[in-house]
Amino acid sequence: MDERIPVTRPVDHGTAKLLPDIDRKRAWLLTVNDAPQSYVDLDAPTHLEFEYARRLGHVLDTLGEPGRPLDVLHLGGGALTLPRYLTATRPGSRQDVVEADRGLIDLINEHVPVPDDAGIRLHAADARTWLETAAPDSADVVIADVFGGSRVPAHLTSVAYARAAGRVLRGGGVYLANLADTAPFAFLRSQLATFSTVFEELALIAEPGVLRGRRFGNAILVAAHHPVDTATLARRTAADAFPARLEHGAALRDFMGDAEPVRDENAVPSPEPPDGAFSIG
């Protein structure tokens, strides 16, 4: 294939496009229904273009010994940015990627595949269904980056879902989620309340303007049964090219306020982003 030619293809959940980056020889932007989903550079898998992906990368880098292989379950596949990152930074990691859109999996396998020996296995399945049937204590990390269009699906926001994630994680494991919201943060606060019913330790990483309610944006939820290295994470995220703030402890409890955990019967998707919130170009 000519690597400079954009690819457009119908997939299960709309229209996917792979757009070449004119500044990087083998880099691609994936969009679905014109919403940016992933960015990958096949020559530089440790390059994380999106701000939220960089923040997830910072968390992954601080887990255990540097370079130690991890067993990771990715909910949401996109163009496999973080699985490629972990293969490069933690060789020998075993990674399962669950993506509901089989057409998207086929597109990625055809045009930007991962090497056969990368330790990455792709599965066409619903994220929660997979969690509920996966082996207990089988993952060091669960990373949820699932969006139906530009919204987190409702069935991935409840206490039952959080319990399913907690069941799959080992005792020293960490759950990470890419969420999106803006003031007054009804969704984000409800997610903190929901995951606090399952996990003892929570942290939130976001751009300061998002946390101040100035704009709609992404926030990374970190949940664990053990203390997270928040000091290192705070330094790394603050020093990033796209600085972010880490909230935890009393400040995060104040942010959560009196929000109630979400039950399956009253779960709703994350809010619809305003026009232009995740625009490209």
Q: For 79-99, what is the mean pLDDT?
A: 98
Q: What is the pLDDT of residues 241-262, one digit of tens each?
A: 999 999 999 999 999 999 999 9
Predicted confidence (pLDDT) per residue in 162-214, tens digit? 999 999 999 999 999 999 999 999 999 999 999 999 999 999 999 999 999 99
Length of the chain: 281
pLDDT recorded at residue 277: 62
d(C-alpha 21, C-alpha 207), whole Å: 25
For residue 2, what pLDDT band results from cuts at 50, 70 and 90? very low
pLDDT of residue 278: 58
- Scan for tokens 């370079």, then name that residue: 67
Please check the confidence at residue 150 and state whether its pLDDT lies above 90.
Answer: no
**pLDDT tens readout for residues 26-59:** 999 999 998 899 999 999 999 999 999 999 999 9
Which of 259, 227, 278 lies closest to 50 in space, CA to CA? Answer: 278
Residue 152 contacts residue 271 (beta carbons within 8 Å): no
Confidence at residue 149, expressed as pLDDT on a 0 to 100 scale: 77
Q: Which two tokens stand for residue 25?
A: 């020889």
Distance, in Å, from the CA atom of 185 to the CA atom of 189, rounded to the nearest integer, reads 6
Owner of token pair 């490069």: 88
- Tokens representing 258 are 């009196």
DSSP 12: T
pTM above 0.75, yes or no: yes
